[in-house]
Structure 1
């Protein structure tokens, strides 16, 4: 092995490039894995605290020793890297294991479940090593050249142990691009995504309502993902901490924001903002709809107007960011902001439909649902690309080193100091104890939050 080791981030970039040529010993990974969150068990608890099991269960189709290497994802606001492994499962009755083959006219004997393994947790190695087999000589040679493998000759049958805990997490000379402007871009996308998701809550561009009901009964989402109800394995958190089932640790959150809005969590959900600033009413009677939601926006008999605000209502910078997007989407003001966002992410079909709707054309519900569904995917992918390429690597660097990159020079400030300088900022209880840096037009905030995790060795299953 060479002394000039590559960083773990660089190794993961190689894994990502050659993931189709590397398989992982899943049994070894499971046996040595320490979960980083609270173990959830399938089912719901009754009023006596008893666990009621779902009437269906999943069974692995492969039950193999090796699985394809998963996809790696950097967490958006902690120094955490996860590996998401996809495996094939089938549904079967819990009582007698009778397989469920078809639901609502769809074959469901070949479903996916996703197991999320945390490789690095809050800047600390959580998986010390991976046992792998490599089918590409090119990948083998590259890993050998980087000092990761000590085998002499390529052998596709050989199992290699790749040690992760002896690598530096990041390269000493890491460089990162400017984050100026990224918050506003992400905020606009988040607001628009929230509006679209609220419209689509009970809608599908593929299945009718009766099919969605069948999916729900069989613990399937409208996207045919397995969605069992889950609950904590313990019933009393204090008891679990005392008896050692749970432990706690400090997790350091790193967020980006602006001099007006500290981070994206300050934005309201679409329905909350709708209730704050707008009113749905019946076109015929003028009757106001109490507790409105965007899910009823498809009703042709309804119209929307601005809410009459009392003098006590304080308009915040969050309101100022969200209102033009809502006004445009709801057709109250044609400012072009929504169409601009949609065209930027490639969601041209929804942009076209909204322009036609504002021009007075009647759009069918089916056509609108299909366009909203496609736009939602495009918006989420665009935002994910920004995180994975520009924000998450920077967050990982800060969280794993405790430092800003060399090219980002800024003085550390307390919440009191940054709040005095930028009075529009609002702080949660945890954020009030944080450290803040003004970098260009952006604010980087670092604050601690207590997280709990189950101590026993087990798989972290998000199926």
Structure 2
């Protein structure tokens, strides 16, 4: 090794840049891997607890010793980095392994399966080393220069060991972007994406309803991804803890929020908020829909109005924040919020449709679904970029070091102190024992939560 050794984050950036030139020994990884969450098994349990297996299963097409380097993803509110590995699989009947080649007119003999492997879990290395082969001399030279390879000469036949457990997780001189104003952006987009997702729950811009039914029967999502039902491997959590199947650990959550809303988890789901604050009714009869949902929005006979709230209904800052977006989207008040969000993320088709609808133009269901789908993808990508560029690196640093970066000057507050200073904040049970920092117009929360994980259960190379 050289003295030019880098931190883990820089190494992961190199992995990401050269991921098409590095392959990973998947069998070595699986044999030495410790899960950080609860193992899920395919199937559902009946009333007696018996596991009922799906009628289909997946089989790896390659079953190879090596797989492509995965994509690296930061967790959004813990110091955790996952490596997402994609492998080719096919569907087959569980009883006789007869392959399923086509579903609803779509070839399904070359599907993808996805497995997450946690590199860093809550600020601690979870994978000590990776066994890799490298096909690019440029990548080899860079890794050698950075002190993570021992080899002298490049050999594309050779398997190299890259040790992760001897690297610092973050650089001591790291600098981080300002988070001012980010929470409101994220919160607005989360509310809007929740509304859009609720519209699209059973809709597709590609496939029709009978095809989606066929997909569901064959454990495929509307985007043709494998989606088996799963359940916990245990029946009783206390028994699992006693017999050693499960163990627990403290996971430290790092959230950003505002002086009125502590974090994004405080926002309601779209359908829940619709039911709380609005009424859907039949235009002709005036009949109130008892359990409204955005799936009903495509029914042209229905209209929406504000719900008459009782004096006992408490309206929070969360409600006020969400109501302005809902009112605009539902056409009850034109305040420009929705159009502003759509223009910001480049969702031009839905922005135009939204304006056309305000002028009274009739818009087909198919056109609406297509515009909603495109907008949803753009909104999600915009949010992901904010997290990857500005929030996740900060969360990772705090979770790894237990400190705020030197450039951020803020004194810790208890929940009681934060509540006294910012009375609109609402705290969960776990958050009540946390620490809080006022940073500009934002609040950074750090609190512990008990998480459970399956012990000594390596992922085996089976379908």
TM > 0.5: yes
Q: 1:2 — aligned with what? A: 2
Q: 1:263 — aligned with what? A: 263
Q: What's the secondary structure of 2:157's corresponding residue?
A: coil
Q: 2:282 — aligned with what? A: 282
In structure 2, distance between residues paired with 1:423 and 1:5: 47
In structure 2, distance between residues paired with 1:314 and 1:260: 15
Give the 5 Å matches for 1:41-440.
41-440=41-440
Contact residue 102 and residue 108 of structure 2 kept, 8 A: yes
Contact residue 434 and residue 447 of structure 1 kept, 8 A: yes
Aligned-residue offset at 1:150: 1.3
Aligned-residue offset at 1:312: 1.5
In structure 1, distance between residues paired with 2:307 and 2:438: 36
Aligned-residue offset at 1:28: 0.5
In structure 1, distance between residues paired with 2:254 and 2:292: 34
Aligned-residue offset at 1:309: 1.2
Q: What's the secondary structure of 2:448's corresponding residue?
A: strand
In structure 2, distance between residues paired with 1:110 and 1:447: 43
In structure 2, distance between residues paired with 1:460 and 1:34: 12
In structure 2, distance between residues paired with 1:180 and 1:446: 18
Aligned-residue offset at 1:460: 9.1
Q: What's the secondary structure of 2:449's corresponding residue?
A: strand
In structure 1, distance between residues paired with 2:200 and 2:377: 12
5+ residue gaps, structure 2 = none
In structure 2, distance between residues paired with 1:312 and 1:267: 21
Aligned-residue offset at 1:320: 1.5
In structure 1, distance between residues paired with 2:187 and 2:290: 28
- How well do the aligned residues superpose, as a CA RMSD in angstroms? 1.0
5+ residue gaps, structure 1 = none
Aligned-residue offset at 1:205: 0.6
Give the 5 Å matches for 1:25-40.
25-40=25-40
In structure 1, distance between residues paired with 2:44 and 2:429: 31
Contact residue 39 and residue 460 of structure 1 kept, 8 A: no
Count of aligned positions: 462
Contact residue 115 and residue 460 of structure 1 kept, 8 A: no
Aligned-residue offset at 1:4: 4.2
Q: What's the secondary structure of 1:91's corresponding residue?
A: strand
Q: What's the secondary structure of 2:388's corresponding residue?
A: helix
In structure 1, distance between residues paired with 2:176 and 2:411: 18
